Structures are given as structure tokens and as C-alpha cells.
């Protein structure tokens, strides 16, 4: 079997997709045309194929995480504008249709998943290859953020289609524009995630890192070594912010109730998803 045929076979075994494989073979073919004696110096085809899978898989996993964050940013900004305009559009406290459970849950899941994916991708950005376990953590975080974004998108569409009757006429078109921007951005993020899922690194080893190492200098030094303590502090801060927002809206009781629910959800989420998302050992 010639070097190129063997390399093609090994790339196929390593899971390198067809288009990429053809490009690699064309590049090595050109290399051998430049210097036919180079075949000895190119290296073992099986090792090369694994290296392609590991390096490209690592880069694609990071790219999926960065793409998700870039996709969520314009969607999040537009959603923020939409949310800020609820009062001006004529929504009252009794109109629960627009900000339904899908929007409430979706925005929080998107924020947490997107941020966690970005933090891990940023921390590993200089690593030529990450382990298979590390890539899985990156992809799970990205998938979670994407799920949150899609849930928010669905919530916006449902909310915009249920007009309570007294809402300004410009609100529904604005909500649909937000949903359209979100659909395009999240569609692109989904494609990059699918690409990353198709070519994953195979390098053995653990997914080094936890919530403390991901946050780095953003977290106080003495909390970094204890992910559980850090998660409790974050849940506490979230609760305080929500309670204060309730006080600012002259509904302290509702604020405190929502703060308790959110803090409990934070801790439950950390307990359930902490390991699969690489936040704790």
C-alpha cells in the first residue's frame, strides 16, 4: 500500500470527514511531488492520522464554544432590549404570556452553558491538543448553552404569538426580528457544534480543571480550590441580586421567593451536572 493510500485509510479510521481527508491527501501528494524522498521523513501514517484527529478535534471543540458565545451575544442584546421594552409596549405585571417558563429557564441555561463553554475554551486555547474527556466537557457545555438559547427562542416565538390585546403594535414585529436574529445565530452555532461532534480528539487522559480553575482570577484565591464552596458563594450572590431586584420593583416578598428558587436551582444544577460539565471532580 502506498503512503498516500495508507494515510487515507488511517484518516478514515480516525474519523476525519471526507472533504478534509481529500484536502490532506492532496497536500501530502503535493509534498511528495516536491520531494519524492520525503516519504521517510513524513512519519507513520497511523500516528499522523491520530494527530490530525486530535489537533483538529481540539480546535473544532474550542471553536464550537467560541461560536456559541458569539451567537448568543447579539441574540442576548436584542432580547435584553425586548425585555426592557415590555413596560413601554404595555405589558403589565399580570401579563405572564411573554416571559413564560421557557424564556426564564432558557436565558439562564444559555448564560450558564455559554459562559462555562467560553471559560474552558479560553483556558485551553494554547493547547495544541486536548484529551477526549476535555473535548467532551467542552462540547457538553456548548450543547447546554445551545439548548438554553433554543429554549429562549421558542419562548419568544410563543410569547409573540399570544398578543394580550393591549400591547403596542410594534412589539410583535420586534419580537419576531429578535427571534429571526436568534435563529440565524443559533443555526450557525449548531453547525459548528455538529462539525465538532463529527471529529473528536481521541487522546487519553482526564478533563483537567474545575469551576475554580475555569474562573481563574475572576474568583477569590481561597475559593478556587473548593468548587463546592465557590458554587455556594455564586448561588448566594445570584440570590442576593434577585432579592434586591425584587425590592427595587417594590415586591420584596416575590423577590425573596424567586431568589430562594434560583439559588436552590443553582445548587441542584451544580450537584447534578457538576461532574459531566467538568465543574467538579
Site pattern 80..119 for another protein (x: CB under 8 A):
----------------------------------------
Our finding on whether 217 is near another protein (CB under 8 A) is no
Contact pattern from residue 11 through residue 30 relative to another protein, giving x for each residue in contact according to CB under 8 A and a dash for the rest? ---------x--xx-xxx-x
- Which positions from 47 to 76 touch another protein by CB under 8 A, shown as an x/- string? xx--xx-xxx-xxx-xx-------------
166 binds another protein (CB under 8 A): no
Minimum CB distance to another protein smaller for 5 or for 81: 5
Residue 202 interacts with another protein (CB under 8 A): yes or no: no
Span of 36-44, 71-79, 102-110, 137-145 interacting with another protein by CB under 8 A: 36-44
Judged by CB, which is closer to another protein: 27, or 221?
Answer: 27
The CA-atom distances, in angstroms, between 238 and each of 57, 77, 113, 114, 271 are 35, 20, 16, 17, 17
E strands in 3-135? none
Q: What minimum distance in Å lies between the beta carbon of 235 and another protein?
A: 34
- Report in angstroms the alpha-carbon separations of 257 from 103, 138, 232: 19, 33, 18
Q: Rounded distance, CA 234 to CA 254, Å?
A: 21
For residue 44, the tally of other CB atoms under 10 A from its CB is: 13
What span, in angstroms and rounded, lies between the C-alpha atoms of 231 and 261? 15
Q: Is 43 in the site for another protein (CB under 8 A)?
A: yes
> CB–CB of 62/118 below 8 Å?
no
Name which position in 4, 6, 9, 31 contacts another protein (CB under 8 A). Answer: 31
| Cell numbers describing residue 10 | 488511517
Amino acid at each position: 500500500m502506498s503512503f498516500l493510500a495508507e494515510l487515507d485509510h488511517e484518516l478514515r479510521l480516525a474519523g476525519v470527514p471526507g472533504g478534509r481527508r481529500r484536502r490532506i491527501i492532496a497536500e501530502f501528494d503535493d509534498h511528495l511531488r516536491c520531494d519524492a524522498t520525503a516519504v521517510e521523513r513524513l512519519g507513520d501514517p497511523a500516528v499522523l492520522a491520530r494527530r490530525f484527529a486530535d489537533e483538529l478535534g481540539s480546535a473544532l471543540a474550542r471553536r464550537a464554544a467560541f461560536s456559541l458565545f458569539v451567537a448568543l451575544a447579539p441574540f442576548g442584546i436584542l432580547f435584553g432590549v425586548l425585555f426592557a421594552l415590555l413596560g413601554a409596549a404595555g405589558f403589565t405585571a399580570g401579563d405572564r404570556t411573554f416571559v413564560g417558563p421557557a424564556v426564564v429557564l432558557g436565558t439562564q441555561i444559555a448564560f450558564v452553558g455559554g459562559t462555562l463553554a467560553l471559560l474552558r475554551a479560553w483556558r485551553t486555547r494554547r493547547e495544541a491538543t486536548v484529551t477526549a474527556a476535555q473535548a467532551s466537557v467542552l462540547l457538553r457545555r456548548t450543547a447546554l448553552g445551545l439548548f438554553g438559547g433554543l429554549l429562549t427562542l421558542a419562548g419568544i416565538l410563543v410569547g409573540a404569538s399570544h398578543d394580550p390585546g393591549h400591547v403596542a403594535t410594534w412589539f410583535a414585529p420586534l419580537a419576531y426580528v429578535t427571534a429571526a436574529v436568534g435563529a440565524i445565530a443559533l443555526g450557525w452555532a449548531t453547525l459548528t457544534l455538529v462539525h465538532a461532534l463529527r471529529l473528536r480528539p481521541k487522546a487519553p487522559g482526564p478533563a483537567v480543571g474545575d469551576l475554580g480553575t475555569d474562573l481563574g482570577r475572576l474568583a477569590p484565591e481561597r475559593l478556587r480550590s473548593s468548587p463546592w464552596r465557590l458554587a455556594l458563594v455564586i448561588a448566594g450572590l445570584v440570590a442576593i441580586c434577585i432579592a434586591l431586584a425584587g425590592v427595587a420593583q417594590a415586591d420584596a416578598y416575590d423577590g425573596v421567593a424567586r431568589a430562594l428558587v434560583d439559588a436552590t436551582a443553582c445548587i441542584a444544577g451544580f450537584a447534578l451536572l457538576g461532574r459531566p460539565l467538568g465543574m467538579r471532580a
